[in-house]
Copies of this chain bind each other. A is one copy, B any other.
Amino acid sequence: MGGDHAPEQIVQGAAEASLSLPGAEIVLVGDAVELGKILPRLRHDGARVRVHHASQVVEMDEKPAEALAAKPDASITVAAGLVAAGEGDALVSAGNTGASVLAVARSWQLIPGVRRAALASVYPTELRRGDKDDPFSLILDVGATIDATAEDLVTFAIMGSAYAKLISKNRRPRVALLSNGTEAGKGPAAVVRAHELLLEATELNFIGNVEGLDIPRGVADVVVCSGFVGNVVLKMLEGVSETILRMARYAHKQNLAWRLGLAALRPALDQLKSVTDWEQYGGAPLLGLDHLFIKAHGRSSARAITNAIKVASKAQAGDLCGSIGRGMRELAERTGRAGVRAPGDEAGVVT
């Protein structure tokens, strides 16, 4: 029910997935009357897509915690509960990001050793990687864990590496730590300490610190940072087109050749904006919980939803959560520490 083009495009994406993904069984959670009007009109495999009723919907602009409290039968809450109860393996939503992350964080369990979940985004780079020639690097966290400790950052490195191995078929993903300089001593205390811990993590391919500009350069396959810095940097990368137009207007108000050049480039820059819009690539995975949640873009078309379902299906088939669990166990065995979940903690909220 969530997303700018819901429920039509969501149902259509699910209908297509029921035909193209022979292994998948899809449960559409939402208003049964409304969904029941759309689904029969579409080509689909009736044996592998069905509707589960939920009477309420969290709107895109609602405050997450308040919306979930006010709407106990919200489709996202019901869907998260179905997965928690074993009625589903993974969840895809194009709805309110904060509410959906909060709903799954409350309903699902953290993988043992993981203290906080991370939302990962993909960012397009010139460089291709892995057996799939994947042109994306992964950045995590981008908003689920605003204040990340050194141990959280190491966990994010393990989770991002496992995801890149499985989804990009990248056998040895290069993992980097986002900082304000490439030297080991650069950054806040948590980043400096994480650098030391990652140097000891020989099971990872840690290449050191990178800066924000190294992300579009494709220097790393997995870029690790706190949710605060990740969210700030990602929004700036998404806004490069706007920034350059502003700078250019500042710099050359008087220069005709420049003005003409900018006018010519304007449509290209507008188009570029959509290219750098991370969420359109099959969605952003939330990593660290015992099931996979894929947050599809609010503007998702049917095709984007089908892609997100494909990624979820691939992650499930490859046992992503199991891989992350093994990575955390290896870490605990190597360091002699078990990951500690702070009492009363709950996964952060992106809005």
Contact = CB atoms under 8 A, between A and B. Distances in A.
Contacts of A351: 181, 183
Interface residues of A, number: 56
A203 interface: no
Contacts of A262: 265, 268
A212 B236 contact: yes
Contact of A188 (B146, B240, B268): B146
A211 B143 CA distance: 14
Contacts of A180: 143, 146, 227-228, 231-232, 235
A251 interface: yes
A42 interface: no
A213 interface: yes
A191 to B, nearest CB: 8
A250 B212 contact: no
Interface in A210-225: 211-213, 216-217
Contacts of A251: 124, 271-272, 275
A135 B246 CA distance: 12
Contacts of A335: none
A89 to B, nearest CB: 31
A247 interface: yes
A261 interface: yes
A248 interface: yes
A311 interface: no
A258 B268 contact: yes
Q: Report whether over half of chain A's contact residues are helix, strand or loop; otherwise say mixed.
A: helix
Contact of A247 (B124, B188, B231, B265): B124
A128 B248 CA distance: 15
B240 A244 contact: yes
A106 interface: no
A276 B247 contact: yes
Contacts of A228: 179-180, 187-188, 191, 229
B232 A244 contact: no
A178 interface: yes
Given A146-B188, A228-B188, A261-B264, A243 B272 contact: no
Given A232-B180, A251-B124, A275-B251, A246 B216 contact: yes
B147 A216 contact: no
A213 B235 contact: yes
23 contacts: A124-B250, A125-B250, A126-B249, A135-B250, A143-B180, A146-B180, A187-B228, A212-B232, A212-B233, A212-B236, A213-B242, A216-B243, A216-B246, A229-B229, A233-B236, A240-B240, A247-B276, A248-B268, A250-B275, A252-B268, A252-B271, A261-B264, A261-B265
For the complex of A and B, 9 pairs with smallest distance between CB atoms: A180-B231, A213-B239, A251-B275, A212-B236, A216-B246, A147-B188, A240-B243, A216-B243, A236-B236
